[in-house]
Amino acid sequence: MLDAICLFDESNPVTYSVFKFQKLSDTDIEKYRQTLVCPACAGKAYYRKASKDGKAACFGSRYHQADCREFKPSLAKEREELHAIEVNQLLVDSDAMIIDFSRQPRLSRGIVNKGKQERAKLDKNAQIQKPEPASMSESEAKAADKPSRSPDTIVPDSDASEAELRGGQTASGEKRIAKEGLEKLLHSLMRGSELAESDLWVYTDEKYRWRAKNLFVNFADAEPTETGAPRMYWGTISHVDKELLWLNPADSKDVGIPIDKIATPLMHKFGLDERRDFEGAAIILFGKCFWNKAKNRKIIQLWSNDLNRIFISKLEENE
């Protein structure tokens, strides 16, 4: 459980996230911890502090109702909630965070097996067929797999609190620098972590750092930046058009994400076999937001069309 309701003052119940609750004084924690209940079924709940061996603080309950949504969560939900708890603990323990764009997502066994079968089939075809000129779609896929790094240059925001030139220096002294991939960051945001409201410094590369509250932007709040500075945009996907040209976020009707140059490798990387697989999927990407020519639609362009700077978490069938 990520949240619990405190009934210390029954006339004024207060909902606490684990992150906010653990920031209370020891006196208040001891005063409130016996009046916590599950926000879904009102079953008596408990609070556990972070352990010395690294286990994050958490809420839980042994008194869930049989039909409580918190009682038997799916494996995907459990993993996402664990990611949210771990990121919230990171905010407590760390002075800064580096986004590791090279960290590969943990795909399900079905996607991995399918990928192996496809590679085996391709290898077999390569052995029995003579090489032929690549088709247009194959050429585009290869180009998307190896995007150019030159077109996009990060322009720091004029507000130094949002982004600062770091000069390529590494962290030193006693600074505690965490490193996380996009999968965990997205899951934590979807499950209500405090990341998007925090003052944590987040490094997107060796040179630039941003306050997390200025870097992570939900699609509903996306606005073009004056200098073209990038952001980490996140939310859910409503649908994709028939031609696989645009992703349409569910969070905003006037935002579009062009994928025409990367659709094939994007689908392959995240196990998206058909348009239906995009619907309801969670997404996070590092990109820039700007107006279209008519200035009636905001476009969020993936930075350099680099597939390492985007992560899509599709829904499981039982979710």
What is the C-alpha radius of gyration for the chain, rounded to an integer number of angstroms? 22
Whether this model's pTM surpasses 0.75? no
* Eight-state DSSP code of residue 44: B
For residues 33-51, give the mean pLDDT. Answer: 88
pLDDT number for residue 78: 83
DSSP 101-147: TTPPP---HHHHHHHHHHHHHHHHHHHHS---PPPHHHHHHHHHHS-
Is the distance from CB of 96 to CB of 209 less than 8 angstroms?
A: yes
pLDDT band, residue 72 (cuts 50/70/90): low
pLDDT number for residue 180: 96
For residue 144, pLDDT over 50 is answered with no
For residue 49, pLDDT over 80 is answered with yes
**Which has more pLDDT, 157 or 24?**
24
Lowest mean pLDDT among 88-97, 116-125, 170-179: 116-125
Angle between helices 75-93 and 182-190 (to 10 degrees): 100
- Domain extent listing, the chain: 1-62
Rounded CA separation 242/192 (Å): 32
**Which has more pLDDT, 222 or 46?**
222
